[in-house]
Amino acid sequence: MFLDFHGRVAIVTGAGGGLGRQHALALAARGAKVLVNDLGGAVDGSGGSVSAAQAVVDEIRAAGGEALANGASVTDFAAVQAMVQQAMDAWGRVDILVNNAGILRDKSFAKMDMADFALVVQVHLMGAAHCCKAVWPHMQAQNYGRIVMTTSSTGLYGNFGQANYGAAKLAQVGLMQTLAIEGAKYGIHVNALAPTAATRMTEGLMPEDVLAALQPEAVVPAMLVLAHESAPTRTILCAGAGTFEAAHITLTQGIHLGQGADVPEQLAARLAEVTARGAGEQVPQSGAAQGTNEVAQALAAHR
């Protein structure tokens, strides 16, 4: 099955370079009309110019595609709403949102300025929330939508010097989980992409031969799968160097210990049983699954 996007309208944030640019080019090449958003700032979020977004729009148009440029900061909700309205005015709908915009302010947590922590969270988490909120009523009205969050292995598994980035990136997964539940009855599928790619944000962090294998283009197929009408929902798809994996947030079966005075000691002694992977482990379909499992074991223990 060819992943066709003709008739679809996509908004890609942070699409003036790197991974976002590749996302925008790929969607346009497969027929989507694309609003290319980019603040045009430095990796740390400073500065700004619409020229980066316009350059990608020019590329798309030169190849015969249809695109518009937008220089809004995703941290500015009013500007984000205007961005979505720009797409609505031009094309009458918004089918796809790829939340790709991001910045880095890396330092060990001991040395990190809390203003840098807050700004990274503002761009990655609040930026994604602003964009989702702005497209949501339009997707509800048309009973169709595909939203792709950009999470990270740093958010999923941690990385030295990136406490701010990791916190914001895992928060996007939490946003995905609930929006997927709330969007289900409107045909809105929400997923997350965890890319490993050589971009401005990874320069100097890896050896040259590794960077050569991690071209942003290699991640794009995962985005296309998550943005297509055949997309799953609530999937965390990982991609890099042409390899694709899935990440899952799971719940172990656990053990029931009751509420006795010695439960702390019992729990300490049997913690390996609580954390053991395998039989009974599940990928919960909602937060209620945890409580359901806990109460079920409690009731069974008292029968």
Q: Which residue has the tokens 């390996």?
A: 272
Contact indicator for 201, 21 with CB cutoff of 8 Å: no
- pTM comes to 0.94
pLDDT in tens, 29-45: 999 999 999 998 666 66
Task: Please identify which of the residues 144, 157, 165, 186 carries the catalytic annotation.
Answer: 165
**pLDDT tops 90 at residue 200:** no
Structure tokens at 281: 């482990």
Distance of CA 124 to the CA centre of its chain: 9
pLDDT for position 197: 81
Of all residues in the chain, what percent are helix, strand and coil, respectively (each to 5)?
Answer: 45, 15, 40
Round the average pLDDT of the chain to a whole number and report it. Answer: 95
The reply to whether CATH 2.60.40.2470 applies to domain 9-247 is no
For residue 198, the model assigns a pLDDT of 73
Query: Is 165 a catalytic site residue?
Result: yes
Distance CA 120, CA 161 (A): 13
Q: Where are the domains of the chain?
A: 9-247, 263-301
